[in-house]
Amino acid sequence: MQSHQQQGISMVELMLALAILALALNIAVPNLQEFLDKNRALAVKHQLERTLLQARTMAVTQREKIQLCGSLDLQNCHTDWSSGWIIRRLKDEQNLYANQLLNQQYSLKWDGFQKNIVFQPGGVGLTTNGRFYLCRKQRVDWQIILNRQGRVRTASETENRQQDAKCQ
């Protein structure tokens, strides 16, 4: 007759496994939070890049001046870009597009010659060159640079570090 022995883990082995798991979670959770924060900030960057290109395209295709401005209520222009922005036709101030930022834990700022961006019918922004920058943890996380021709580029890490004082 065969005897069957029950096999399992002891209390010491279980406690050791739980201690290792707790240690791994203690290391992983802050890194996961940083990863999520970085991705949320990049999502804002991509939304803004898409909106800049959309506003410029509207100016070219509709052959009229198109304004892009920060907005608190998604109806009126404001200098604060952290809540969202609107695209509107300049001649009658009719809103064409609005984008609300749901995650307002970051500070999004525009630094340019004008408070708002105006694309001319040819797609250029004669006096609207400048830069957007997003502050996170008192540092510039990213910058979008807009030139007079209406072209957009992303700043390098070196350029971001040079502008960190704007987030203090």
Q: Give pLDDT tens digits for 112-131.
A: 888 899 999 988 887 778 99
Least confident of 29-38, 75-84, 114-123, 146-155: 29-38
Q: Which stretches of the chain are assigned E, i.e. beta strand?
A: 66-70, 84-89, 95-100, 107-112, 117-119, 130-136, 139-146, 152-154
Q: What is the mean pLDDT of residues 84-106?
A: 85
pLDDT value of residue 103: 67
* Distance, CA of 61 to CA of 119 (rounded, Å): 12
Residue 132 is encoded by which pair of tokens? 């957007």
HSE at residue 79, side-chain half, CA atoms within 13 A, is 5
Instruction: Categorize the per-residue pLDDT at 2 as very low, low, confident or very high, splitting at 50, 70 and 90.
Output: low
Whole-prediction pTM value? 0.80
Q: What average pLDDT is seen over the chain?
A: 88
Cα 86 vs. chain centroid, distance in angstroms? 16
Residue 161 is encoded by which pair of tokens? 């570090």
Q: What is the mean pLDDT of residues 55-71?
A: 93
